[in-house]
């Protein structure tokens, strides 16, 4: 009987998790940023230097592994950019959400934790459905939070250590950002778990080196990741000049309140233990929260995943003591939690899953618009990253490049200075003049402005090409 109930609970939990992203994709959902450029990069078969106008220091792809995976899938299936995006969204969401189901004795405890975070901070699930490779790193973090106690064994756990080396290598190869792995290492030492910390630090170093070697250019890869870090977070005067995810957060009060309630609940049921908060998992969550006041991604990518594991352990501890594994109550609770989780995640609140349905894209396949798009060898000038994401997504093999891509700091210094001036002046038309002076006949200036507001930039003729999108070019008589 116990096995039957446990199996049914497992099926219910897995089914709810699988159905959620499929329902969202069924709305016609597509993300809005990097998933577009990753899929287009795989389809294009080009280096970034053939897609973007880059500064000299940028010489290598930071996501070698992810683009290799998407490229392999593209060659094997023939899927277009949209198909690759759908694959990215669903597979990465399931990878993150299903892993803990097999690492807990009570998988319904994981769904309880997910539901708590859905209610406290729905932004996490929006990020889990962006189809970006940082989700691989977040998933690795889950595995670490579940398996770290094995590193405390008196005998060196070679199997667990080898697993961490392999996973670190894959994270480095797929996502890059290897330097951020210092955060969980630091959490071990803050929790005074020195033996585990030393073993994990050693496996991290070995994994990073192995992952770098897998790229084929280990030194350049490691060096460029550091250069990218300092470029991305430097050279700005106003915080709003950074992409949103690099800006600080406001403290996520609802998530903090959820933690306080969980601690009060433990105290009220007479189960308080100092180790509840004095452990690497909770400290990692707290560290990510504190660092979120600098860059909010520390919280979303590091703090929240650790907090999810901590909450799951809290629920599991309670469920194991209060409910027999074969109890019908357990199955009833699993069904209810799964149903509420599914409804909460798939609800199209504020059109979060359908907002892209009304987007009009610029495409070479549209003969009327094609003559207004850049000519071969041209450059797209723009102050809005959406122009790059959407246009590259629909035209992955187009014979032009973009001055502004997925990170402003990658632009040549002269163009970055122009872009920062445009940002400083709130997009004032006069601040575009240096780019207009640089433009050639094959180039285009593409701006996001309302339909009734033709940009007032002298020396450019304009065409309203798509929703809130104007294409400007040099007059043919110039």
In a domain? residue 478: no
Q: 3-class SS at 278?
A: coil
Element (H, E) at 444: strand 444-448
* Residue 395 within a domain: yes
Domain extent, residue 20, equals 2-351
Q: Tokens for 284, please give them.
A: 């990692």
Q: What is the DSSP string of 147-210?
A: HGGGGGSSS--HHHHHHHHHHHHHHHHHH--GGGGHHHHHHHHHTT-HHHHHHHHHHHHHHHHH
Please state, as a whole number, how many other Cβ atoms lie within 10 Å of the Cβ of residue 443.
22
Which residues, at least 6 apart from 190, have a Cβ–Cβ distance to it below 8 Å? Answer: 280, 283, 287
Beta bridge partners of 466: 469
pLDDT at 32: 86
Classify each residue of 322-335 as buried b or exposed e, where b means 16 or more C-beta atoms within 10 Å of its C-beta: eeeeeeeebbebbb
Cβ atoms of 283 and 190 within 8 Å: the answer is yes
* Planar angle of CA 404, 354, 423, nearest 5 degrees: 25
Coil, strand or helix at 389: helix
Q: What is the per-residue pLDDT for 1?
A: 56
Closest CA to 406 of 57, 32, 37: 37
DSSP letter (8 states) at residue 80: -
Token pair listed for 87: 């694959």
User: Do 174 and 195 reside in the same domain of the chain?
Assistant: yes
Count CB atoms within 10 A of the CB of residue 218: 16
CA distances from 355 to 75, 136, 476 (A): 30, 26, 37
Distance, C-alpha 86 to centroid of its chain: 15
Q: Could you read off the pLDDT tens digit of each residue along the chain, which spans 478 residues?
A: 567 899 999 999 999 999 999 999 999 999 989 999 999 999 999 999 999 999 998 889 999 999 999 999 999 999 999 999 999 999 999 999 999 999 999 999 999 999 999 999 888 999 999 999 999 999 999 999 999 999 988 888 999 999 999 999 999 999 999 999 999 999 999 999 999 999 999 999 999 999 999 999 999 999 999 988 888 877 777 788 788 888 999 999 999 999 999 999 999 999 999 999 999 999 999 999 999 999 999 999 999 999 999 999 999 999 999 999 888 899 999 999 999 999 999 999 999 999 999 999 999 999 888 999 999 999 999 999 999 999 999 999 999 999 999 999 999 999 999 999 999 999 999 999 999 999 999 999 999 999 988 999 999 999 999 999 999 999 976 5
28, 73, 76, 237 from 79: Cα distances, Å? 17, 8, 8, 42
Judgement on whether residues 347 and 430 belong to the same structural domain of the protein: no
Same domain, 347 and 447: no
**Predicted local distance difference test score (pLDDT) of residue 234:** 74
Burial (CB < 10 A; 0-12, 13-18, 19+), residue 217, is: middle
Q: Are 255 and 208 in contact (CB under 8 A)?
A: no
- One domain for residues 232 and 277: yes
Asked if residue 388 and residue 341 are part of one domain, the reply reads no
**Total domain count, the chain:** 2
Cα–Cα distance list, 96 to 69, 107, 383, 461 (Å):
17, 14, 34, 48
pLDDT at position 325 is 87
Final residue before a domain boundary, out of 325, 351, 377: 351
Are 64 and 126 contained in the same domain?
A: yes
- One domain for residues 336 and 363: no
Question: Which residues, listed in sequence order, are joined to residue 464 by a DSSP beta bridge?
Answer: 470
* One domain for residues 320 and 416: no
CA 473 and chain centroid, separation: 35
Place of tokens 């709130």: 426
Note the pLDDT of residue 153. 84
Cβ atoms of residues 470 and 446 within 8 Å = yes
Say whether both 221 and 366 belong to one domain.
no
Q: Identify the residue whose tokens are 């990218």.
A: 228
Same domain? 326 vs 429? no
Is 308 a domain residue?
yes
- The total of other beta-carbon atoms located within 10 Å of residue 49's CB is 13
Helix 81-98 to helix 2-26 angle (10° resolution) is 150
Asked whether residue 194 is domain-assigned, the answer is: yes
Question: What burial letters (b/e) apply to 402-421, b meaning 16+ CB within 10 Å?
Answer: bbbbbbbbbbeeebbebbbe
- Residues for the chain: how many in total? 478
Last residue of a domain, one of 289, 320, 351: 351
d(CA 204, CA 123): 29
Measure the CA angle with vertex 49, ends 79 and 73; round to 5°: 20
The answer to whether the beta carbons of residues 462 and 396 sit under 8 Å apart is no
Two tokens at 462? 């304009």
Q: Indicate the residue among 351, 367, 384 that finishes a domain.
A: 351
3-state secondary structure of 402: strand
Same-domain pairing of 320 and 411: no
Tokens of 154: 């008196």
Sign of the Cα torsion 212, 216, 222, 226 reads: negative
Residues forming beta bridges with residue 472, ordered by sequence position:
445, 462
Q: How far apart are CA 341 and CA 200, in angstroms?
A: 34
SS3 (DSSP) at 471 = strand
Same domain, 369 and 344: no
């Amino acid at each position: 009987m116990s096995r039957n109930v446990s199996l049914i609970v497992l099926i219910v939990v897995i089914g709810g998790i699988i159905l959620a992203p499929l329902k969202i994709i069924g709305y016609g959902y597509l993300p809005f940023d990097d998933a577009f450029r990753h899929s287009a990069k795989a389809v294009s078969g080009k280096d970034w230097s053939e897609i973007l106008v880059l500064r000299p220091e940028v010489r290598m792809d930071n996501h070698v592994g992810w683009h290799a995976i998407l490229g392999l899938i593209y060659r094997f299936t023939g899927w277009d950019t949209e198909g690759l995006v759908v694959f990215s969204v669903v597979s990465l969401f399931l990878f993150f959400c299903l892993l803990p189901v097999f690492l807990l004795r009570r998988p319904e405890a994981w769904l309880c934790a997910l539901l708590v975070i859905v209610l406290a901070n729905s932004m996490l699930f929006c990020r889990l459905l962006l189809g970006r490779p940082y989700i691989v790193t977040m998933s690795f973090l889950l595995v670490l939070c579940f398996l770290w106690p094995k590193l405390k064994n008196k005998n060196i756990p070679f199997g667990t250590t080898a697993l961490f080396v392999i996973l670190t290598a894959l994270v480095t190869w797929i996502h890059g950002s290897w330097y951020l792995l210092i955060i969980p290492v630091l959490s071990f030492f803050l929790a005074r778990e020195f033996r585990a910390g030393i073993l994990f630090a050693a496996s991290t170093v070995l994994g990073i080196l192995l992952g770098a070697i897998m790229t084929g250019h280990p030194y350049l890869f490691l060096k460029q990741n550091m250069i990218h870090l300092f470029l991305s977070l430097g050279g700005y005067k106003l915080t709003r000049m950074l992409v949103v995810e690099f800006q600080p957060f406001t403290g996520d009060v609802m998530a903090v309140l959820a933690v306080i309630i969980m601690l009060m609940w433990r105290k009220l049921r007479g189960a308080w233990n100092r180790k509840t908060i004095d452990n690497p998992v909770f400290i990692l969550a707290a560290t990510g929260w504190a660092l979120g006041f600098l860059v909010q991604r520390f919280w979303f990518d590091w703090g929240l995943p650790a907090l999810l594991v901590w909450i799951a352990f809290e629920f599991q501890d309670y469920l194991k003591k209060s409910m027999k594994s074969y109890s019908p109550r357990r199955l009833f609770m699993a069904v209810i939690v799964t149903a509420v989780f599914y409804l909460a995640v798939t609800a199209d609140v504020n059109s979060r899953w359908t907002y892209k349905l009304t987007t009009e894209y610029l495409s070479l396949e549209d003969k009327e618009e094609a003559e207004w798009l850049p000519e071969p060898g041209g450059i797209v000038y723009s102050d809005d990253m959406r122009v790059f994401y959407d246009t590259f997504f629909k035209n992955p093999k187009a014979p032009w490049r973009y001055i502004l891509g997925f990170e402003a700091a990658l632009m040549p210094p002269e163009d970055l200075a122009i872009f920062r001036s445009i940002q400083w002046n709130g997009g004032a038309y006069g601040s575009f003049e240096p780019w207009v002076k640089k433009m050639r006949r094959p180039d285009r200036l593409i701006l996001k402005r309302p339909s009734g507001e033709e940009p007032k930039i002298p020396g450019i003729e304009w065409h309203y090409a798509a929703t809130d999108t104007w294409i400007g070019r040099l007059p043919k008589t110039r």
